[in-house]
Amino acid sequence: MSRNSRTVLIAGGGITGLTAGLALARAGFRVDLFEQAEGFETIGAGLQLSPNALAVLDGLGLLHRIKTVAVGPTAIRVMSATSGREIVRIPLGHHAVERYGRPYLVIHRADLQQVLASACADDPDVTLHMAASVDDVAAHANGVTALVNQGSQMTEFSGIGLVAADGVWSRLRNVHFDARPSVYSGLAAWRALIAAERLPGSQDMESVQLWLAPNAHAVSYPVRHGQHLNVVVVLAALQAPQGWTDRGEVGELRQALAGWSPAFAGLLDHKARWTRWPLHAAPRLRRWSEGPTALAGDAAHAMLPFAAQGAAMGIEDAAVIARCLKAAHENGGDASAAFAAYEGERRRRAARAGRLALANRYLYHLPRPLDLARNLAMQAIGGRRLLARQDWLYGWKPAP
């Protein structure tokens, strides 16, 4: 293959874009990846890496590196936020490995991004262009040409295709796929990292804890070798402008959580920087691919975080894109055919994950007395059967 015939362009250096860059390089392509930030952020929040996501990352040879910065929780403990009592315990740890072949891990987003970025930097077939944003892309007989803004100059890059992994506020989605803006959910996530050394010895640093309350919920789990507790509280909030985030006042959050058990509300007494993030979902699109251009990750199907699958779906997208492009190239096809095949394979599964997130949104935030009925039902089902209900999700593996 000539250089131009195997070059793929990627817009966006987030989890999806970096994973796609590695997957494509492993499949025999050259990659030019453009990230508009000057450097990869060290701030952010935690995320959960379920076995389906780890199946891709393991295939890229990254599982060992990820394990050095991640934590493997023993269970998901579903808790009553008002009483502080455990409702049900969903086993993870060795049980997840036995069931799905990979562990269930929790990690700080910046740590995962750093593992991926380092692997890309080490791969001679991946070129990272920082402080570079793809402003436009044009298709032609040989593939695509992207107009890239690199500070004070505009540069053209060519390749056989372009993957737009530029997030929930994707510019390329809005320009080339006639999409409406992302939709605000009416919810905001309050996020903080609390140093483990500030926490009492009774604090659970072995599990993911899901705290359910009427019209709200929270999640807490350890990250960074258990040195910090990642805490997220999701509450109703007024409309927020695009990209809005701010430093939240803990007093406001404490007032919103009046009536919550001290087992969780006590976390607000520890010094931490709280930020509020509006939760948005991508509009439903008629298509994810247009000729040699395709959307991936949040640009294609941003979903609410109630199934902890936003990053995982983007990681899966990356693996399928690489496989479809390789198959098309080996069989005389082009990027347009490959991206059409990718979209056909991924739409139904991503939509199902999105529906699960929406269902969980209402399940987690049920008002009284429906929340009591939910708790009794979860207890009756039991943790092992609740996990088994996710087999279709966690048991996914990339095709060879």
Is the distance from CB of 250 to CB of 288 less than 8 angstroms?
no
Q: How far apart are CA 172 and CA 192, in angstroms?
A: 31
Strands 46-49 and 75-80: unpaired
Residue that the structure tokens 């905001």 belong to: 188
Half-sphere exposure of 157 (CA within 13 A, CB side): 28
> Of residues 184, 221, 342, 394, which has the active-site annotation?
221
Q: Are strands 7-11 and 161-164 parallel, antiparallel or unpaired?
A: parallel
Q: Is 342 a catalytic residue?
A: no
User: How far from chain centre, in Å, is Cα 368?
Assistant: 31
CA–CA separation, 207 and 385 (whole Å): 18
CA distance 314 to 91: 25
Q: Are strands 105-108 and 46-49 parallel, antiparallel or unpaired?
A: antiparallel
Length of the chain counted residue by residue: 400
Q: What are phi and psi of 286, to 5 degrees?
A: -75, -25
Helix (H) or strand (E) holding 109: helix 109-122
**Tokens standing for residue 324:** 């479809």
CA distance 211 to 152: 48
Which residues form the catalytic set?
Answer: 221
